[in-house]
Structures are given as structure tokens and as C-alpha cells.
Amino acid sequence: MSEAIEQRRMPGGMAAEPSAGDAALVRLVTGFAAGIAMLVAVALPVMHVWTELREENAAMEAEARIVAYTVSQIASRDPDLWRFQAARLRAALATATPEADVTMRVRDVNGDTLAAIEAPLRGPLHGASAPIFENGQPVGTVEIEHSGLHLLVQSVWVTLASLFLAGGSYVALRLLPLRMLRRATSRITHLATHDQLTGLPNRRLFHDRLEQTAAGLKRYGGHFAVLALDLDRFKEVNDTLGHAAGDELLRQVAKRITDAMRESDTLARLGGDEFAIIQRSAEQPKAAEALAARLVELLSQPFILHGNQAMIGTSIGIALSVESAPDHLLQDADTALYRAKAEGRNGFRFFSAEMNQALRERRALEQDLREAMATGQLHLHYQPQVNLSTGRVIGLEALLRWDHPVRGRVMPDRFIPLAEEIGLLSRIGEWVLREACAVATRWPGLRMAVNISAHQFQAADFLRAVRTALEETGLPPARLEIEITEGVLLTDTERTLATLEALHALGVSVAMDDFGTGYSSLGYLHKFRFDKIKIDRSFVATLTDDPQAVAIVRAMIGITHALGLRCNAEGVENAVQAALLRAEGCTEAQGYLYGRAVPETELAALIESAGGPQAEAVAPPAAGEAPYTPPNPARVIQ
Ligand SMILES: Nc1nc2c(ncn2[C@@H]2O[C@H](COP(=O)(O)O[C@H]3[C@@H](O)[C@H](n4cnc5c(=O)[nH]c(N)nc54)O[C@@H]3COP(=O)(O)O)[C@@H](O)[C@H]2O)c(=O)[nH]1
């Protein structure tokens, strides 16, 4: 590929002789130019000789007619008598012939020459004749002959001139379209090798330059680095300000990066919000580190897009030519980029071999997760949520489990972020909603809590998935509770608010999960109407030894009372924690003290051991719904 592009280039950026694809066109143009040149070379002299000859013949015919008239004054019908007039005839011819290079003859009717003026004529001859009349009777002819030598000489000159002209027109005809062709070829090459939005080299040209740089390095020595960049929060700008603003942002990003680089470096847009740089410098890795730090800083400065201010950032992965094979440089920089993103974005990381191993593992996990979906390895477990005063079950939280035939149990903390990243979580989430609702219908009176990630919640079809799950299973909406974390509230406030309102309108309740772990929890409580707050288990875990945790939990519970919300303490593992929470006024709890998450088949025993479901359960059975009876585990579908 490298040669394919570079061969077509000449110094100054002009494309060189077109190759294979254009060869036919070049041949056609050359053939056409040769044809025109041949026409010019042959046609001009032929036309010249023909017109000159015609004009001279016409002049000679006129002259012959005039001489014939003069001679007719002397003519006699008797040739013998006329022959005696030869001297007079010659004199008449002499007065009629001012030029020396003309031969004139007078012949009688028998063709015998009666008089003549002969000139020494050279070269091809041409002539004309006219009849001589006496009393209306033809008695002879006058003949005039000229030398055609001057015509021949002229023709040679005209031929030479036309050959010169033909050569010129051949060159002009061949050059003109070839130049146009080259310009077109150069434009096509540019289109094929550059990104139209930013004007930067595209992925194809980037690989080409990478090959060249690596080849140069092999021959002349030196170092270079490849930097892979990905914009943070680009999608948010696109979604909130529109695609025109997204395009403008990409152009401004390209300009900022270009301004920060040296001319000898190459910046390319690989697609979407991905950019890559080849940085030549003898001082690697210092130079790459300095450039990456500069870019992180530059791209975190605000952008003004059609009057709106947008804040983004960039994550950068760096691979060094001394450490990565030339054909792995971009891939390795990408691996480092992935690590930079995973470690919190808006920073840079150098590639190390250990990252490859992590990436391979991630890819294997990704592949396994796709298979898990298809082969039914995913299933739900249910953790009871209890009334803190009675310890009896009032609800269930559906928790996803993955049982892999070789890996064993993979916990959701490990595979849910991956499913989100590879776009599988929507499908998984839809299944979880439907399955949890279906199970809830078999446990009347209990509320079913389902975890929804930020990504799922923001998806366009989330509300549709909730409605479908309720309709298909027939679960009363009041028995479904959606658990979201503060992360959901970080973006697109208007839309999030509308979705929360729509859930309320449906009759579904919403709980804020992991309360206290985000950074502006109180602000969100003021903005959104939650039904329940779940105190994060990290506060519950330290309740017994940390007076500060007690103070925080007390404040949280106070807030729920003030706002009239239900309060659930997560991760209650012992009776002391439960007693403390009860004393502070917390009403609900869940945790290992009351039971771990179990498959549906084990739920009956768990609920019975807690004294059965709470009689005044938060969500009483809907009209027509049977009251709670422990199900026969054999009937339970997993
Ligand atoms: N979007 C979705 N997220 C889901 C789904 N299923 C689970 N999750 C989220 O994954 C995270 C980890 O869940 P898990 O490993 O299942 O852990 C839960 C409980 O097992 C654990 N827990 C419960 N009681 C105790 C306890 O006493 N001690 C202790 N150390 N851990 C306990 O807590 C997790 C439940 O947390 P929460 O959701 O905050 O109530 C977790 O964030 C899940 O939300 C899914 O289907 N979709």
C-alpha cells in the first residue's frame, strides 16, 4: 500500500505518471493527439498545392485565351498559307509573353507547330490551352506551359511548417488532457487518503506514513512514537448540541492538535473521535510524554461551538518504536489508550507488554459473554429486602449472575461494565426486566427491585422495555421498583427528569441506589422525586466502629424522613448494625443478615425462615392477584 500511494506523488505534491488504471486513458489521449498531428501534417501541404495549382491553371487559361484572340487576327483557314505567317505569329507571342519562364506554342488543326517561344523550364510542368478561331471556325490552338518548380519548393516549406505545427499540436493535445488527468488523479488520491471533515490524513494514509517512518528508521536510525487519542464526552456534545456542533468540535480539535505538533509529525483522523499521531524525535519517550501532557491540557480547555461552550477531554495511549514492532505500533497505542480510559480518562498511558495480556483476557471475556447470552448462562438471583422492625420480607432485589462452564461464577461487577461497553447491556437489561417481572408475579405482595445502569436508563427504548415487561408479564406497575445510581443523573438532566416522571406516571417506583457515594447527592434529591433512598453499604459496614459513619447515616435517615421517602440500609451483616439503624429510624434493610441473593427455587425457604412476607407489605396484592403462598419449587422456572 505504501508504494501505491507514494508512487503517484511527485515533489510538490503533484501526482506522477498515472499508473495501471489510468493507462488506457493515457493511451486513448495519446492516440487522439497522434491522429490530430497526422491530419495537420498531411492536410496542410495537400491543401496548399491544390489551391495554388488551381489558381495558376485558371490564370494560364485566361492568358491562353487572350493570346489565342491576338493570334486569331493573323490566323488563316489554310494551314499552308498560315505557315508563312510564322514570323508574325512569333512576334505576337513575344508581345503577349512578358515572363521568361513561359513556353508558348501555336499549333494548326493538324497539331503542327506554326510558331513557338520556348523557355528553359525545370521541374514539374503544368499548362493550359485555348482554341484559335477564324470566322468562327477553329483553325488551331495556343498552348502555354509553366514550370511548377516554385510550387514544389513552396510545398516543401509548407510541409516542413505543417510538420512543425503537427508536432506542436501533438505535444499540446497530449499534455493538456494529461495535466487535467493528473489534476483529477491528484484530487482523487487526496480524497482517498484524507478525511474530508478535518482535511487531515485518514487511516489509510496514516498506515502508509507509519510504514515509511518505520522503513526510514530501519535505514537511517532514530526513534518515533505513535500516540492514539480518543475524545472524552464527544458523544455527549453530539447528542446535546447536534451533529453540526460535533463536526465543528472535531475541526477545532484537529486545529488545536496540529498547532501543538511539529511540522515533521503526522496527525491523522482515524474515524469518529479517534485521532493518531506519529511523532519523530530522538528524545523518546520524553518527547511523547511532553506532547501527550500538552494535548491533555489543551483539549480540556473549553470549546465554543456555535455560541455554546463545550468541555471535553482526551485520553491518550502511547507506543514507542523501540518497544513495539512497526506493524503493532498503532494497536499497542490503542491498548494503552484503552487502559488510560479505564483509569479515569483525560490522561495518557505508555504501552507495556502486560497490557496485551489484559486485553487478550478482556477479548476472551467479551466473546464468552456473547455466547452466554445465546446459551442461557445468565440468570437472576434474588436478595430479600426486609422491614427492619419485624425482619420480615417486603421485597426482592433481582441480581444478575453468570455461570460460565469453565470460568465458574462471574460476578456482575466484572461483566456489566463490559456488556455496557460492547453494547450488549440493553438486550441483557430487557431480559432482566422481563424475567424479574415474571418472577415477581409468582410472589404476590412483594415489590421487585431491578438495577438499571446509567447507560440503560438513558437509552431511547428504556421506557418501552419497562412497559413491555409489565404488559407481557401482567405485573402491576406498583410492584416494580427501578434502582438507579447518581451516575444516571449526571447527564442530560431534562431527559432524565422526563424519564423519571414517565416512570412515576406508569406507577413504577424509583429508588436511589448507593446513596452517599456520589458527590452531590443532596442536589439531586431536590431536583428529582425518588420513592426510596438506599444507604450505601460502605456506611453500614463502618457503623459500629466509626462515629462519623453514625453521624452520616443519621443525617441520611433524617433527610428521608424530611422528604417523606422510604429508607433502605444496604449490606446489613449483623444484628448490631441492624439495631443501630433501627434506633436511627431506618425502616428497611437488606444484607447477608437477612439472606444472600439466591435463585428463585430457594426463595420460599428464605422467606419462610424470615417469618414469611410482611403482612402489611408495601405493595399489597393487586385486584385479582392471589395472596402469597409459598410456591412449589418444582414449578419454578429458572
Ligand atoms: N445494571 C444492572 N446492574 C446489576 C444487575 N445485577 C447486579 N447489578 C449490579 O452489580 C453490582 C454488584 O452486584 P452483586 O455482586 O450482585 O452484589 C450485590 C449484593 O450481592 C451485594 N450485597 C448484598 N448484601 C450484602 C452484604 O451484606 N454484604 C456485602 N458485602 N455485599 C452485599 O451488594 C450488591 C447489591 O448492590 P446494590 O445494587 O447497590 O443494591 C451492584 O452494583 C449491582 O447493582 C443488573 O441486572 N443490572
Contact 111, 118 (CB under 8 A): no
Q: How far is the CA of 413 from the centre of ligand 1 (A)?
A: 8
Claim to verify: residue 442 and residue 589 sit in the same structural domain: yes
Claim to verify: residue 611 and residue 463 sit in the same structural domain: yes
Q: By CB neighbour count within 10 A (0-12 exposed, 13-18 middle, 19+ buried), where does 428 fall?
A: buried
Tell me, what CATH number does 244's domain have?
3.30.70.270
Percent share of the chain, pLDDT over 90: 46
Check whether 3 has a pLDDT greater than 80: no
In a domain, 357, yes or no: no
d(CA 604, CA 595): 12
Tell me, what CATH number does 458's domain have?
3.20.20.450
Ligand 1 atom 7: residue of nearest CA? 399
In a domain, 239, yes or no: yes
Claim to verify: residue 412 and residue 559 sit in the same structural domain: yes
In a domain, 635, yes or no: no
- The grid coordinates listed for 509 are 417506583
Q: How far is the CA of 155 from the centre of ligand 1 (A)?
A: 104
Last residue of a domain, one of 166, 193, 220: 193
Section 386-405 average pLDDT? 95
> Strand, helix or coil at 405?
coil
Q: Which of 22-31, 73-82, 319-328, 541-550 has the lowest mean pLDDT?
A: 22-31
Check whether 478 has a pLDDT greater than 90: yes
Binding-site residues, ligand 1, Cβ < 6 A: 383, 397, 399-400, 411-413, 416, 432, 451-453, 513-514, 537, 570-571, 573, 590-592, 597
Q: Which ranges of 194-285 would DSSP assign to H, the alpha helix? A: 203-220, 234-241, 243-260
Section 129-135 average pLDDT? 89
Claim to verify: residue 609 and residue 511 sit in the same structural domain: yes
Domains contained in the chain, number: 3
Give, for ligand 1, the residue of 409, 420, 451 to mutate: max count of ligand atoms closer than 8 Å to Cβ. Answer: 451
Contact 236, 246 (CB under 8 A): no
Ligand 1 atom 38: residue of nearest CA? 451
The CA–CA distances, whole Å, from 15 to 18, 20, 46, 179, 182 equal 8, 14, 41, 10, 6
> Strand, helix or coil at 187?
helix
Q: How far is the CA of 345 from the centre of ligand 1 (A)?
A: 25
Claim to verify: residue 379 and residue 287 sit in the same structural domain: no
pLDDT single digits (tens) 585-625: 999 999 999 999 999 999 999 999 988 888 544 444 444 44
Claim to verify: residue 405 and residue 534 sit in the same structural domain: yes
What number of H helices and E strands is found in the chain?
21, 20
Percent share of the chain, pLDDT over 70: 90
Claim to verify: residue 224 and residue 125 sit in the same structural domain: no
Selected residue with higher pLDDT from 509 and 490: 509
d(CA 504, CA 496): 12
Q: How far is the CA of 513 from the centre of ligand 1 (A)?
A: 10
Q: Which of 14-23, 64-73, 355-364, 433-442 has the lowest mean pLDDT?
A: 14-23
d(CA 636, CA 638): 6
Claim to verify: residue 451 and residue 598 sit in the same structural domain: yes
Check whether 399 has a pLDDT greater than 90: yes
Q: How far is the CA of 517 from the centre of ligand 1 (A)?
A: 15
Check whether 172 has a pLDDT greater than 80: no
Last residue of a domain, one of 160, 193, 226: 193
Query: Which atom of ligand 1 is least distant from the CA of 399?
Result: 6
In a domain, 630, yes or no: no
Query: Which atom of ligand 1 is least distant from the CA of 592?
Result: 27
Query: Which atom of ligand 1 is least distant from the CA of 590?
Result: 24
DSSP per-residue letters across 551-585: HHHHHHHHHHHHHT-EEEE----SHHHHHHHHHHT
Q: How far is the CA of 418 from the centre of ligand 1 (A)?
A: 16
Of the ranges 117-121, 312-316, 526-530, the best mean pLDDT one: 312-316
pLDDT single digits (tens) 220-266: 777 899 999 999 888 888 877 888 999 999 999 999 999 999 988 99
- Kindly tell me the sign of the dihedral angle through the C-alpha atoms of 625, 631, 634, 638: positive
Claim to verify: residue 423 and residue 454 sit in the same structural domain: yes
State residue 610's pLDDT score.
87
d(CA 253, CA 233): 13
506: closest CA among 544, 475, 539?
475
Question: What length is written for the chain?
Answer: 638
State residue 334's pLDDT score.
93
Ligand 1 atom 13: residue of nearest CA? 412
pLDDT band at 408 (very low <50, low <70, confident <90, very high): very high
CA gyration radius, the chain: 50
Contact 87, 151 (CB under 8 A): no
State residue 533's pLDDT score.
93
Ligand 1 atom 30: residue of nearest CA? 571
Q: How far is the CA of 399 from the centre of ligand 1 (A)?
A: 6
Claim to verify: residue 248 and residue 348 sit in the same structural domain: yes
State residue 586's pLDDT score.
96
In a domain, 480, yes or no: yes
Chain-centre distance for alpha carbon 59: 78
In a domain, 636, yes or no: no
State residue 9's pLDDT score.
40
Mean residue pLDDT of the chain comes to 85
Amino acid identity at 143:
E
Q: How far is the CA of 362 from the centre of ligand 1 (A)?
A: 22
The β-bridge partners of 207 are none
Check whether 522 has a pLDDT greater than 90: no
Selected residue with higher pLDDT from 438 and 152: 438
> Strand, helix or coil at 152?
helix
State residue 42's pLDDT score.
86
Q: By CB neighbour count within 10 A (0-12 exposed, 13-18 middle, 19+ buried), where does 590 fall?
A: buried
Contact 226, 203 (CB under 8 A): no
Q: How far is the CA of 373 from the centre of ligand 1 (A)?
A: 20
In a domain, 407, yes or no: yes
112: closest CA among 155, 141, 138?
141
Cβ within 8 Å of residue 255, ≥6 positions away: none
Residue 215 sits at the vertex; the CA angle it makes with 214 and 220, to the nearest 5 degrees, is 100
In a domain, 622, yes or no: no
Claim to verify: residue 151 and residue 231 sit in the same structural domain: no
DSSP state of 98: -
d(CA 567, CA 570): 10
Query: Which atom of ligand 1 is least distant from the CA of 412?
Result: 10
d(CA 172, CA 177): 9
Long-range contacts of 184-189 (CB under 8 A, 24+ apart): 185/8, 185/15, 185/18, 185/22, 186/8, 186/13, 186/14, 186/15, 189/5, 189/8, 189/9, 189/15
Last residue of a domain, one of 352, 382, 412: 352
Query: Which atom of ligand 1 is least distant from the CA of 397?
Result: 40
d(CA 426, CA 418): 12
Query: Which atom of ligand 1 is least distant from the CA of 456?
Result: 1
The β-bridge partners of 18 are none
Q: How far is the CA of 262 from the centre of ligand 1 (A)?
A: 50
Query: Which atom of ligand 1 is least distant from the CA of 452?
Result: 1
Claim to verify: residue 444 and residue 530 sit in the same structural domain: yes
Range of the domain at 117: 1-193
- The grid coordinates listed for 64 are 491562353
